[in-house]
């Protein structure tokens, strides 16, 4: 059936977009957390883990309030004069991607942080001593050593995204169809 094929392709695209987005945001955060001293890391780690302790429905309803027609974002846009009337932010693909990214970003951050905390900083210093700039050190030392964490985080986020059904139903309304929602029906 073509409908299910389209939904499957869209679900995979959502999974890839959210996974890549979480990698782009989560890697720098995870790496910087791994390089912090333990006393500073704890307080920031709480901020990463806190969303995981909240109910998914509570988080989704919070986003509905933020992205709604009379929500905070629309009020801000009207207040600064960017728009004259409320913009439709809720029940869009972008809203679903944003909320899924926020929900699953901690998994990427924690995966990257756990691997990067085991990378010996001496290796980065040795690379710098061999006249490698920061980008080269990052590309040739850090990324290869962090690849297991990157792959773990990417896989976790992808699987969680393609199996999501609450967020697409509530944030996307009827306009966003994902495989998890179709299976649930």
3 state SS for the chain: CHHHHHHHHHHHHHHHHHHHHHHHHHHHHHHHHHHCCHHHHHHHHHHHHHHHHCCHHHHHHHHHHHHCCCCHHHHHHHHCCCCCCCCCCCCCHHHHHHHHHHHHHHHHHHHHHHHHCCCCHHHHHHHHHCCCCHHHHHHHHHHHHHHHHHHHHHHHHHHHHHCCCHHHHHHCCCCCCCHHHHHHC
Total-model pTM: 0.91
CA gap 159, 97 in Å, rounded: 14
- Could you tell me the CATH superfamily of domain 2-64+92-180? MetI-like (1.10.3720.10)
**pLDDT reported for residue 184:** 79
CA gap 114, 112 in Å, rounded: 6
The full DSSP string for 155-166 is HHHHHHHHT--H
**pLDDT reported for residue 30:** 97
**pLDDT reported for residue 1:** 84
**pLDDT reported for residue 178:** 92
In order along its 185 residues, the chain shows pLDDT tens digits of 899 999 999 999 999 999 999 999 999 999 999 999 989 999 999 999 999 999 999 999 999 999 999 999 999 999 999 999 999 999 999 999 999 999 999 999 999 999 999 999 999 999 999 999 999 999 999 999 999 999 999 999 999 999 998 999 999 988 888 998 888 77
Question: DSSP label at 131?
Answer: T
Domain ranges of the chain: 2-64+92-180
Cα dihedral: 19, 20, 22, 25 (round 10):
180
Cα dihedral: 79, 83, 88, 94 (round 10):
-90
């Amino acid at each position: 059936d073509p409908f299910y094929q389209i939904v499957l392709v869209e679900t995979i695209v959502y999974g890839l977009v959210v996974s890549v987005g979480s990698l782009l945001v989560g890697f720098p955060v995870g790496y910087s957390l791994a390089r912090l001293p333990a006393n500073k890391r704890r307080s920031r780690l709480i901020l990463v883990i806190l969303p995981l302790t909240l109910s998914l429905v509570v988080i989704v309803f919070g986003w509905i309030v933020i992205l709604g027609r009379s929500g905070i974002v629309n009020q801000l846009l009207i207040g600064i004069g960017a728009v004259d009337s409320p913009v439709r932010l809720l029940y869009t693909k972008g809203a679903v991607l944003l909320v899924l990214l926020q929900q699953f970003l901690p998994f990427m951050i924690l995966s990257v942080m756990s691997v990067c905390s085991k990378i010996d900083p001496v290796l980065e210093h040795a690379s710098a001593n061999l006249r490698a700039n920061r980008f080269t050190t990052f590309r040739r030392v850090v990324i290869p050593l962090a690849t297991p964490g990157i792959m773990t985080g990417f896989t976790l986020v992808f699987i969680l995204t393609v199996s999501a059904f609450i967020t697409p139903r509530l944030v996307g309304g009827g306009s966003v169809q994902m495989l998890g929602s179709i299976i649930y029906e």
